[in-house]
A and B are shown apart, each in its own frame.
Chain A
Amino acid sequence: MKLQTLAMAMAAALATAAVSRAALAAADQIVIGDIDDMSGVYADVLGAGGVEAINMAIADFGGTVLGKKIVTLSADHQNKPDIGASKFRQWADEAGLDLLLGGSNTGVNIAMAKVAAVKKVPLFVIGAGGASLTNEDCTPYTVHYVYDTTALANGTATAIVNAGGKSWFYLTADYAFGTQLQNAASKVVEAHGGKNVGAVRVPLGAADFSSFLLQAQASGAQVLGLANAGTDFSNSLKAANEFGITRTMKPAALLAFLTDIHSLGLKTAQGLYLTTGWYWDLNPDTRAYAKRYFAKMNRQPTMDQAGIYSATTTYLKAVKAVGSTDSDKVMAELKRMKINDMFASGGYLRADGVMIHDMYVMQVKSPQESKYPWDYYKMVKKMNGEEAFGPVTGLCPLASK
């Protein structure tokens, strides 16, 4: 008899929960979701700072659009594609999600792009770099907003090969992002007359880099290409320093964020070339945003944390312009409009989903050159968008060569 009562109670409880949740989804509001690595190797690069930036963007927009309140959801994908994709699907089915901002990790974003195509919800990829997102894995609803592996390779690898670093060995994060970054860099190196000596694949979030670094050292290459990111990047560079590898090989940061340089310190990081889509100390507009962000988070924003602010604003502008949240209409407007704000000037969305905007090749300052806190980069070169992101490859059916 007890079992029956239990079953009844269970059914009643579940039914109540279901009804209350259905009511939530029906409310008249614009829902923006953010699925990112909130606790792992990429948490510093975007993470909680990204959520703050989204909220800043919404507050600056007035908190409403088309007379509807804008609300946000956020989740930690823990760098697992299955968690990211099922969360996205659930929000699209249940919470009436209008826009998803995809955080770091290319693997997770590829999985989420598949969901975006099925559920017809725009996905703005912010933190992930893999260029396949707008090539083999492109969808009509994907926007690649901040940077991609092509732009990183075009910036950093070109600068280093031209400066004399002709033979390369890669330390590659063993998933979609790392391999794509390594491939892109290899092509650039070869195109400029350099050669690729070898590569070693390292698991994401590895704790010990010693055996991989010894392989790199044994290769005899001039340049150690670090095709990884976040704490993987800073840990591998630190380890390379401790092993004395940086005395014989020149490290190349194929993707480094401001927070990585900050945690490494200028003494370790000085002289590194890197490519970034944005830097806080570029001009008065970027400094103004950085100052407001700093007041909230007590650190300067990375390019991702500026990009996610800009992406949120751009989406809301497009919604306002078309007077609807219909995904197809909004995407059409996005591909028509120009993006001008503190993040990009004259940026535009190409048919395959890449947001074409200027990228900057930077070199990390030495401790003597740095005049004030967070004064870390000096500009080597400004690449215009077409140069940085390269021509349409033809791999995405949405854009022809």
Chain B
Amino acid sequence: MRSTGLFYALTALFALCAPMLGLYPVFMMQLLCFAMFACAYNLLLGFGRMLSFGHAAFFGSAAYATSWLVTAHAWGPAAAILGGVVVSGALGLAIGAIAIRRHGIYFAMITLALAQLAYFVCLEAPFTGGENGLQGVPRGSLLGVLPLRSDLAMYYLVLAAFLAVFVFIRRVVHSPFGQVLKAIRDNESRAISLGYDISRYKLVAFVLSATLAGLAGSLKALVLGFVTLSDVQQSTSGEVILMTLLGGTGTFFGPIVGAALVVTLQQYLSDIVGGWVTAIIGAVFVACVLSFRRGIVGELAALRLRH
């Protein structure tokens, strides 16, 4: 337990110092946003064993909502992020309420289908800019006090949001609610026989996950100053699954490692190999599934338990 605490402290220290080390802040912010997205996804997959194929819908709808509120209605960043989160939460409630009635592959297919609906709304709706997306989204200043134009200020805002989400997810998982969720994951019939209203637990987990994914999307839209169809696309849903599985589902740190790996590969490999990035990441995924099924962090944790 002590070494885990030390590890977290070291990582947090590293994240705090990252801009001073000369790491490109925009890249680090992108990485943190995807890490937050993966952590939110992990809450659903790792602790609730619900495999959603449509999480980009929440990530993207919040990004669109935030960008639209900022560009068309001149909302401040805090209010716009809140607006985006509310939209993704509401969408999560709507999609979740339908999807949790089924299990396994049917659950996955329902989320995929409904997320594709959300995608077409973003493609066709008059305020989303179609194939171009929404461009030139200003960051504004936080609550009218802290200007976010500099990458450094924005970085620390994203980092703070990320740490808050991370602590929040830990808290949720360790709460009685989280214990019940895990019980449902491990043996659903038994949880029912113990008298738990499992669909309610599942729905709350789904909405929580959608909301946090939305927060990540809203932040990403502000960081990069635009939102495009890539954010709601099915491939983004696939990426977040990949990040979570690579890092290790059901571990707290796994999604972060997975997100870091995938985002770094995409960013730096795309210069060298172009469109082949997808194939390379696919190969990494296959290797991961064949040789270390618990994911990177999952395997490390298992290794430590054995010693």
Asked if A86 and B274 sit within 8 Å, CB to CB, the answer is: no
A59 at the interface (CB under 8 A from B): no
Asked if A111 and B3 sit within 8 Å, CB to CB, the answer is: no
Q: CB < 8 Å: which of A3, A11, A93, A110 contacts B14?
A: A11
Residues in chain B near residue A39, CB distance under 8 A: 274-275
Q: B residues near A, CB below 8 A?
A: 3-4, 6-7, 10-11, 14, 21-24, 26-27, 30, 130-133, 135-136, 151, 224-226, 228, 230-231, 270-271, 274-275, 300, 303-304
Q: How far is the CA of A83 from the CA of B136 in the complex (A)?
A: 15
Asked if A82 and B224 sit within 8 Å, CB to CB, the answer is: yes
Asked if B275 and A81 sit within 8 Å, CB to CB, the answer is: no
Chain A, Cβ-Cβ closest to B131: A175
Query: Mask for A1-35, Cβ within 8 A of B = 1, else 0?
Result: 11110111011001100110110000000000000
State how many angstroms separate the Cβ of B252 from the closest Cβ of chain A: 13
Asked if A175 and B130 sit within 8 Å, CB to CB, the answer is: yes
State how many angstroms separate the Cβ of B111 from the closest Cβ of chain A: 23
Asked if A14 and B10 sit within 8 Å, CB to CB, the answer is: no
Asked if A14 and B27 sit within 8 Å, CB to CB, the answer is: no
Asked if B226 and A81 sit within 8 Å, CB to CB, the answer is: yes
Q: How many residues of A are in contact with the other chain, CB < 8 A?
A: 41
Residues in chain A near residue B22, CB distance under 8 A: 15, 18-19, 21-22
A255 at the interface (CB under 8 A from B): no
Chain B, Cβ-Cβ closest to A15: B21
Q: How many cross-chain pairs have Cβ atoms below 8 Å apart between A and B? A: 99
Asked if B132 and A83 sit within 8 Å, CB to CB, the answer is: no
Q: A residues near B, CB below 8 A?
A: 1-4, 6-8, 10-11, 14-15, 18-19, 21-22, 38-39, 75-76, 78, 80-83, 85-86, 89-90, 93-94, 107, 110-111, 114-115, 117-118, 174-176, 204
Asked if A80 and B10 sit within 8 Å, CB to CB, the answer is: no
Report 9 cross-chain contacts, Cβ distance below 8 Å, ordered by A residue: A2-B303, A3-B4, A75-B271, A76-B270, A81-B228, A86-B26, A93-B24, A114-B225, A204-B131
Chain A, Cβ-Cβ closest to B149: A118
Asked if A38 and B21 sit within 8 Å, CB to CB, the answer is: no
Answer whether A18 and B226 are a contact pair too, CB < 8 Å, given A3-B3, A7-B10, A78-B275.
Answer: no
Residues in chain B near residue A83, CB distance under 8 A: 230, 270
Residues in chain B near residue A118, CB distance under 8 A: 225
Asked if A82 and B230 sit within 8 Å, CB to CB, the answer is: yes
Q: How far is the CA of A82 from the CA of B14 in the complex (A)?
A: 28
Chain B, Cβ-Cβ closest to A76: B274
Q: How far is the CA of A7 from the CA of B224 in the complex (A)?
A: 28
Q: How far is the CA of A78 from the CA of B3 in the complex (A)?
A: 44
State how many angstroms separate the Cβ of A92 from the closest Cβ of chain B: 10
Asked if B275 and A176 sit within 8 Å, CB to CB, the answer is: no
State how many angstroms separate the Cβ of A239 from the closest Cβ of chain B: 22
Chain A, Cβ-Cβ closest to B138: A118
Asked if A14 and B226 sit within 8 Å, CB to CB, the answer is: no
Answer whether A2 and B300 are a contact pair too, CB < 8 Å, given A81-B228, A86-B26, A107-B131.
Answer: yes
Q: How far is the CA of A107 from the CA of B123 in the complex (A)?
A: 14
